[in-house]
Amino acid sequence: MKEFIDHYIQLDLGNILFEQQLSKYTTYRVGGKADCIVFPKDIDALVKTCKLIKKYHLSSKVLGNGSNTLFSDKPYHGVIIKLDFLSDVKFYENKVRVGAGFSLVRLASLAAKRSLTGLEFASGIPGTIGGAIFMNAGAYKSDMGYIVQTVKVLTPDFKVITLTNRELQFHYRTSFLQKHPNYICLEAVLKLQKGKRPAIEQVMKERRERRLATQPLEYPSAGSVFRNPQEDMPAGKIIEELGLKGLTKGGAEVSKKHANFIINKNHASASDIHDLILFVKNAVLEKYHIELKIEQEFVNWE
């Protein structure tokens, strides 16, 4: 690790932080200490960073806003890569080219101000563009797959290529990138539609009010824990029918407001949250013979 750090600094590839608690970088507000977090200053610096990681045989993880990630409480011995500097955004009529590190919520707001419709579903998803494409984030019967035209990625052999929507294999809460995590999303071109600003902003306002009323936004969480088994079968309803609302494990709780949210209610550890997720998953399987799929990514639990 020391050789990597020295080399990274020598090449002036971007900012670097040492011995960082990952709880500062995830929406669950849990996670062990990372050896270092790097912030490459541009795509060229990212390529050089990835080459150094490979040269020194280090583990690495690209992290967006940490809004769909559960790190263990153990130290993370490797390099966390943050793409905050890949945040350029440019609108061209009804299209937008945007860097992977840009906020999805902020982009939805910018699109609305330009009377562009198609991103309303994303106005409450607290992730980055890269993370949203990776997970094919969605809500209200829409997702990134409907609006992504192309994505520029860094391949495992350090080539920068462009993938089309078809090549990205978007399906419900999954994508090519999720199945090939060694590819790194760099930027995307999204295709939106012309609309009317008042109508777009009204939809976003109504959905914001609905989220406040139905989701436990006052506590750290990572959004919905489980995918819906079927369109007409919400995971939260299944969990609620089992009587698991309010169930706790240490400082973690199955939200009383929305059963598909697990919240960090009282200084939970990552293990509290992890164990509660698995308990709920197993309880549903035992009672209903339905295997819920976990939306969130578990990191460093080996």
**Active-site annotation holder among 29, 103, 173, 175:** 173
**Which listed residue (120, 187, 253, 295) is catalytic?**
295
Q: Is 187 a catalytic residue?
A: no
Q: Catalytic residue, from 23, 67, 103, 224: name it.
A: 224
Q: In whole angstroms, what is the distance from residue 263 CA to residue 13 CA?
A: 37
Is there a catalytic annotation at residue 114? no
Active-site annotation holds for 291: no
Beta-strand runs (E) in 250-301: 252-254, 262-264, 297-299
Catalytic machinery residues: 173, 224, 295
